[in-house]
Every structure is written in structure tokens, then in C-alpha cells.
Amino acid sequence: MAYFSNVSYMISHLFLMLFLYLFITHRYSKTATRWICFASFMILTVTDCVKLNLYPDSDVCYFFVTIFQITVTQSTGILISKKRNTKVLFMGLSASNYVIIGSVFAAILNIYTGQMFPALAVSIAVHIILLYILYLNIHEIWIRQYEKEYTKGWWKLCLIPVFFYCSFSFVAFFPRTLYEDPENIPGILFFTMTMLVSYVVVLQYVETEADQKNIYLKNVLFESYIKGLENQFYLVEQSEQNLKIMRHNMRHFSSMIGHLLDQQEYDEIRRTLSYIDDVTDENKIEKYCSNLMVNTIISKMMKRAASYAIHVHLDVAVDKEIPVNTYEFAAVIANLFENALICVKDFPPSERAVTVKIHCSQEQLFIQTKNPYKGEITFDSQTGLPKSKKGENHGLGMQSILAFSDKIDGAIDCFCENGIFHMILFAKF
């Protein structure tokens, strides 16, 4: 019995470390992470040997060894994890539940058949099958949640694996084992099914909550940009009104200048002309396209580019009336334009150049930005968009672009080529 338990626990610890290795994003290299997991595996195995062979009947030893092994397992997960928070704790506790299932099935089969090696083979098979199913169905969902910065509420979710682990331990192993109380086997099977269902429900809930949060943030972002664009639109209208007034007043200025010429007041003439130039420049809006809102945002971005001494290769052709929401379209242009400018503004002056192409008609929409970049750009495996290096609540501009693209059934393509980052948004109406 001691030999069976030793081998069974060894198998469980092996798959426990494999689970942590697969489901936690590594802080260290693969080699270093494997050595850390191997060291933890050896510690767990040695403590099991001490418990099972030196103090097999000691409940106190069982209790303290269990607490020690839990501490080692969670410490291993936290140590190898790139991020150290309650999400990692949740995964470490879940890993402990995962390996209990294989051990329980081995114990049940050994109780009913009395065959040690078939029971151990079933234990290995259950571990492999369950790990394979979890990796195929849960891994991507978990990684998406793991990469998000927010951790609020995850400590509450940790109570779920804690509850199941305690339930399994007290029903199957402590203070009496399944060998001593085989009538507990139906209860163990019930706990197993309940746990699996609970994890599916929890992960679906977390995924839904995350999606709702993203939708909320996108809506807030759109509203913020639209409000800003409306303010900018008002300024444009105000500028145009000022120019109309200026043109109306020009005949008065002309008469004034003629009168000053008669009096040879040349200094006053210069001041008057200077005032006219200042007012004209202050209210001047460059004409890039016939769509007023798009023209406004491009004018704003071009002024920002000039303030950074960035050369912009600009190609714009946007109809006055377009088949998409003008405010949202302008917000997307602002996001893409701004991202390109921010990326190159700290480059040497000779390298500060971006290319922006914006075409929109009744038939199709095409936006392209090109800019040099430094460092490494990481792309999201789900969206294909570049990931922000500043955390979850950053990169919302990209999310708004994706939301706009989905809304108009568009397609987005992002790629890097020869040190140039390309972003293309295309839609056909």
C-alpha cells in the first residue's frame, strides 16, 4: 500500500508541476523554469516519502506535510510567474485540485480491483486526458484573463478551489482514507463533477465580465472622442464665422489704411496690417478634404506633427458625405494618426516621418499609416492588433479602432516590415 501511495503521489506531483508550467506565463527562461519545477517536484516527493514511510499513522504529520506541500506548490507558481497576484494563486490552487482527480480515480480503481499497476496506469491516463482537455478548452481563456491587469475580485474566486480541495481532502484522505471508508466514493465522484462544472461556469462568468468591461471602456472612449471632436467642430465653425466677419470688416480696414496713407502714418499702417495677418492666421483652417469633421481632425493632427517637427506624407480623399458615422470615423483617424506621431516624436529629426493615407467614398473606406519604430511590437493573438506596453487600461485607442472596424464589417491588417510598422483598415460598402 505504501509503495502504491508513493508512486501515485509522485505521478500527481509530476503532473502538478506540468500544469503550472503550461498554464502560467514564465518569468524566467524555459530551462530555469523547468529546473524550478523539478526542484519543487523533488521536495514534494521527499516529503511524501517521509509521511508515508516514516510516519504512516500520524495524523499530525499528515496535516503539517499537507500544509507544507501546499505552500511549496503556491510558492512555485508565484516564483515562476511573470505576474504575481491573486490570479496566480487561483491557478496554483486549481492545479492542486486537478491532480487530486487523478489520484482519486487511481485509489478507487485499486480499491475495487486490488490491481496496483492498472490503477496507476489509469491515474496517468486520467491526468493526461484531463490536462489535454483543459489545455484545449481553457488555456486561451485563462491566458487572456491572466494578461489583463485588473485583479479585483480574484481573491474571492480563490475560495472555490480552496473549498473543493478541503472537501476532497477530508472525504478522501483525512482523517480516514477511501480505503477505510469506501462508502465515500460516490461523494467523491459527486465533488469531482461539481468542481468541473463550477470551473466552467466561473471561467465563462469571468470571460463575460471582461467582455462587458471592454465594451463599456470602448463606449466611454468613443463618447470622449466624440465630445472632443464636437468641441473641435465648434471651434472650426467659430473660426469660419470669424473669417466671415473679417471679410466683412475688410472694407473698413481698407478705408482706414487709405486714410492713414493720406496722413503718411506708415507705422500705424504696419500695425494694422500685422493685426490683419494675425487674425487671419489664427482662424485659418487648411483644406485637406471636403468633409468638414475629417478635415478638422486632420488639421489638428498636422499642427501636432509640426510641433514635433515630424514630416507627414499625407494623401487624403474623403467625400463630403460618407456612409459611416462621421464622428467615429474622425475618432479612428485621430487614434491612428496620434499613435504614429507618438511613435516617432522622440526619433532623430531626420527619421521623424510618417505616412498617412485616408480615402473614403460611397463605395469603400481605406486608411493606412506607416511609421518607423524601435524595440519589439507584440501582437495580440486574438485581434492581431499591437499590444500596449503600459497595461490593460492603455491601448484603448486600438480597441476603439477594432470596435469601429467590426461595426462597418471592415478588416484590419497590422504588420512590421524592414523597421516600418504598417496598419491598414479597409471596408467595402
Each domain of the chain, given as residue ranges in start order, spans 2-180, 286-429
Top-tier CATH class for 286-429: alpha beta
Predicted pLDDT at 109: 72
Taking each helix axis from N to C terminus, what angle separates 59-80 and 2-23, rounded to the nearest 10 degrees?
20
Model pLDDT for residues 142-175, shown as the tens digit of each residue: 776 666 656 666 777 788 778 777 777 666 666 5
Predicted pLDDT at 358: 95
Predicted pLDDT at 76: 92
Task: Please state the pTM of the whole predicted model.
Answer: 0.50
Low-confidence residues of the chain: pLDDT under 70: 1-3, 141, 144-153, 169-185, 187-188, 191, 196, 199-200, 203-207, 209-262, 265-266, 269, 272-273, 275-285, 381-382, 388-396
